[in-house]
Amino acid sequence: MNSRRQLQKALIGYRMLIMNVRSYTFPMARLSARLFKNLNPNGLVLTGGMHASIATEEMQEVQEFDKICTGPGEKIIVSLAKDPAAFPRVFPAEGAKSMGEWPRIDRRLWPQPAGWFLPLKFNWPLEPACGWGPGPVATVLTSRVCPWQCVFCNENSYIPNMGRKPVDELIDELNDLDERFGVGSVVIHDSMFFQNPSYLKEFIDKYPRRARKLWPYWAAARADSVRQWPELFEALVKETNWNTVSIGFESGSDRVLRLLNKECTVEDNDFAIDLVNRIGDDMEKVGRTPVKFWANIILAIPGETREDAFQTMRMLRRMKRVLPSISYYAPYPGSVLGHQLIAEGKSLMSKDNYHRFPGSEKTRGVDYAFYRDLLAGKYEKELGGRTNYSDALIKA
Ligand code: SF4
C-alpha cells in the first residue's frame, strides 16, 4: 500500500487483525493497529512474530495489541483466532517439531490485491516477479531457522530448530501450484537452504524426476558450506536449476568476518566465487542460462576500516554474474552486536524508526560520507575498475 488512506480502506469492517511483527515492520504494525482500532472499535488485534520474542516490552507498550504471542505460533494460531478470550495478553507458544506437521498453505485465503496493485499483473495467489526469476513466483519454505550464530542475525537464539519439510511434500506442493496457477520461478525462502546433505541428496534424487518442470529458483547457502560440499553444490545447481545462489558474503576482510562471528573466511568466500564463476561458464558453453549470485554485502560495520571496505568491494568485483545486495550494517535488537551497540548508545535506530532502508545511517561514529563515495565510484584507483554500486543498496 502506498498511503495511509489505502491502508484505512483495507481495514474497514473487520473483526480481527492478525499480524506477524518483525523489528523493521514494528512501526507499521503499530500504526496499522491504531488505524484498525479507530475504524473497528470492537475489533481485536492479535500479534506475534520475531519482534514479539525479542522486544516483548516494546510490544506491550502498544495498547492496541490485544494479544502478543512470543515464540513460534503455528500450533496455537487457530485456537487463538477462534477464542482469543481464552489467552492472556502475553503468552509463550511452542513450535511444531517438524515442518512436516504443517498443513499446506491454502494461498487463496491470502487477500487478493485490487485497484492500485493491478498494473503489476500477476497470477494471484502466486507472486509477481521481483528480479530473481520470471513470474508468477511461488515462495516456499523447506526449513526454518539457520543454525549459525552471526552476531548481526541470531534468529537461532529465539526460535528452536525444527525438522525440514519432507522433499515429497515440497514437490507435491509445487506441482499442485503449477497445475492450478502456472509457476514461472520459485523462491525457497529458507534462511539457509544449503544444509543437511542427506536432505539435499534426496532433493537432487527426486526433484528432477518428479517435478512438473525444473523452475529456476532462488535459495541461500554459506560460502564455507559450499567449500565443504562442492560436488553436492554443483549437482544442485546443474541438476535442479538452482539459478540464483544467495550467499551472505558480508565482507572481504577476515578481520571483519571474525568480528561478525561469520565463521567463514575470505578463502571460503573466494572458493565459492571461483566455483560459481566456473559453473556459470560451463552452463553458458552448453547454452544454458548461467547461475548467478545474489550477493549479500554489509558495509559500514562498526570497527571496519577503509581497507576492509576496499577488500569487500574487490571481492564483489570478482563475481562474474552477480546481483549485488548491499546494505549498511543495522543494529537490530535481538542480535548480539545490536544489543551491544544499543546498550552503548551507538544505535541511531529506535522503535519509532526500525526499518530496512539499506542506505540510511544507523550507527553513531561511522563515516557514512566515505561509504557513499565508495558506492558512487570515487575510489576507482583503490579498487581497480568499475565501482559504482549506488544502485545496489537493496534490501533482501
Ligand atoms: S546471517 Fe545467514 S548464516 Fe548467519 S545466522 Fe543469519 S541466516 Fe545464518
Sheet holding 185-188, edge to edge: 137-140, 185-188, 217-221, 242-250, 292-299, 322-328
Which range has the top average pLDDT, 117-121, 300-304, 383-387? 300-304
Choosing from 92, 110, 145, the residue where a domain stops is 92
Give yes or no: residues 330 and 201 share one domain.
Answer: yes
Kindly report, residue by residue over 81-103, the tens digit of the pLDDT.
999 999 999 999 988 999 999 99
Give yes or no: residues 31 and 165 share one domain.
Answer: no
Q: What is the mean pLDDT of residues 106-130?
A: 76
Q: What is the distance between the alpha carbons of residues 344 and 15, in angstroms, rounded to a whole number?
A: 42
User: In CATH, what number is assigned to the domain containing residue 326?
Assistant: 3.20.20.70
Q: What is the distance between the alpha carbons of residues 8 and 14, in angstroms, rounded to a whole number?
A: 11
Which residues have CB under 6 Å of ligand 1? 146, 148, 150, 153, 191-192, 222, 248
Atom of ligand 1 minimally distant from the CA of 148: 5
Give yes or no: residues 335 and 356 share one domain.
Answer: yes
Give yes or no: residues 62 and 112 share one domain.
Answer: no
Atom of ligand 1 minimally distant from the CA of 149: 5
pLDDT value of position 217 = 98
pLDDT value of position 117 = 53
Residue nearest to atom 6 of ligand 1 (CA): 153
- Residue 86 sits in which domain range? 4-92
Give yes or no: residues 143 and 253 share one domain.
Answer: yes
Supply the mean pLDDT for the chain. 92
- In a mutational test of the pocket of ligand 1, which residue from 192, 196, 259 has the highest number of ligand atoms less than 8 Å from its CB? 192
Q: Is the pLDDT of residue 115 over 60?
A: no
- For the chain, how many structural domains are there in total? 2
- In a mutational test of the pocket of ligand 1, which residue from 148, 265, 327 has the highest number of ligand atoms less than 8 Å from its CB? 148
Q: Is the pLDDT of residue 255 over 60?
A: yes
Name which of 154-158, 200-204, 309-313 the model is least confident about: 154-158
Q: What is the distance between the alpha carbons of residues 116 and 273, in angstroms, rounded to a whole number?
A: 41
First to last CA, the chain: 19
Q: Is the pLDDT of residue 116 over 90?
A: no
pLDDT value of position 8 = 85
Kindly report, residue by residue over 336-376, the tens digit of the pLDDT.
999 999 999 999 987 777 766 777 899 999 999 999 999 99
Give yes or no: residues 146 and 175 share one domain.
Answer: yes
Q: Could you tell me the distance, in angstroms and rounded to a whole number, from the CA of residue 16 to the centre of ligand 1?
A: 34
Q: Which residues contact 43 (CB under 8 A, 6 or more apart)?
A: 14, 15, 16, 17, 36, 37
Q: Is the pLDDT of residue 257 over 80?
A: yes
Tell me the three cell numbers of residue 32: 496499522
User: In CATH, what number is assigned to the domain containing residue 12?
Assistant: 3.40.50.280
Q: Pick the residue with more confidence: 115 or 392? A: 392
Q: Could you tell me the distance, in angstroms and rounded to a whole number, from the CA of residue 208 to the centre of ligand 1?
A: 28
Q: Could you tell me the distance, in angstroms and rounded to a whole number, from the CA of residue 192 to the centre of ligand 1?
A: 7
| Reported confidence tier of residue 248, pLDDT bands at 50, 70, 90 | very high
Q: Is the pLDDT of residue 60 over 80?
A: yes
Atom of ligand 1 minimally distant from the CA of 250: 1
Kindly report, residue by residue over 4-23, the tens digit of the pLDDT.
888 888 889 999 999 999 98
Give yes or no: residues 324 and 248 share one domain.
Answer: yes
Residue nearest to atom 3 of ligand 1 (CA): 148
Residue nearest to atom 4 of ligand 1 (CA): 150
Longest dimension (CA), the chain: 65
Give yes or no: residues 193 and 51 share one domain.
Answer: no
pLDDT value of position 396 = 46
The model scores a pTM over 0.75: yes
Q: What is the mean pLDDT of residues 189-209?
A: 97
